Structure 1
Amino acid sequence: MNIDDANGKDGKKIAKARFNRYLFEYDLGWDFQNIWQWDDQTNSPRLQSVGLMAANNPIGEQTPASDKIDLLLQQMNANLWV
């Protein structure tokens, strides 16, 4: 059993020095302009918007107070794929 097999169930291992933003952005094609941001403290990618705040404003535009949805619906949208 080869645990460093690119086609195996665990995939190919990479060197820790290579595990950086460049790998995700250019080798894997992740979008760091709109979707991801690099966390320098944990040396890993994370989503720019997640949870309740993303459900309130999924595309980053300001929503007038009269158009905001109630808290229960916001929580449902944040926790369910709708």
Structure 2
Amino acid sequence: PAPHKHPKILQMLENAGVEVWYLPPYSPDFNPIEKMWSKVKTYLRKAKARTPQALLRAIKRAFQTITATDALGWFQHCGYRYNQS
């Protein structure tokens, strides 16, 4: 079986308290990276960079706007649980 479906791996995950969810091969609704790209693309549209240099600056600023709070929210929105211990 695939490594993430191997019985020994599944047992290790279960022992660690991990709940395994099997998603369809491509599920943008459950993919936090899609939320991140949405924020970056929105920023770039608003920046209206018209030169390569301006575009590079806008890309850098777009990524700098992403916070840990954003990332946590995207994971939670996609159904991932986070228990801070």
Q: Same fold (TM over 0.5)?
A: no
TM-score calculated relative to the size of structure 1? 0.31
Structure richer in strand, relative to its length: 1
Q: Taking CA–CA contacts closer than 8 Å with sequence separation of 6 or more, which of the two structures ends up with the larger relative contact order?
A: 2
Structure richer in helix, relative to its length: 2
